[in-house]
Amino acid sequence: MSDDDYVYDEVTGEWRPASEMAAQAAAAAEVRDSAGNVLADGDSVTLIKDLKVKGTSTTLKQGTVIKSIRLTENPEEVDCRHDAIKGLVLRTEFLRKR
């Protein structure tokens, strides 16, 4: 992209520089926990609320540590494992980075 490239922003209805739009898209793709900390693959997180797991009779208690999270395409969800549950997907609004 050169400095002269402009892209139409459908949200604002204005033509904006392509570099500005790319930077804004990258910032929006960051995955953040409930406290606003940026999460990355391999981070450990703590649950901030008791969560009932759908499809099982298991409840994950507040303060449970989840190790080695993996980010998904959705910035509001992370993929993780727990001893009792494999293939667990948690919402970031219930997590806090350790």
2: its two tokens = 């050169």
Handedness of CA 77, 42, 34, 49 (dihedral sign): positive
Cα separation, 58 vs 85, in Å, equals 9
What does the domain layout of the chain look like in residue ranges? 1-30, 32-97
- Quick one: pLDDT band at residue 2, thresholds 50, 70, 90? low
> Contact 93/39 with Cβ under 8 angstroms?
no
Answering whether pTM is above 0.95, one says: no
> Contact 42/29 with Cβ under 8 angstroms?
no
The 10s digit of each residue's pLDDT in 15-70 is 999 888 888 777 667 899 999 999 999 999 999 999 999 888 889 999 999 999 99
> Contact 78/41 with Cβ under 8 angstroms?
no
Amino acid at 74: N
Q: What is the CATH number of domain 32-97?
A: 2.30.30.40
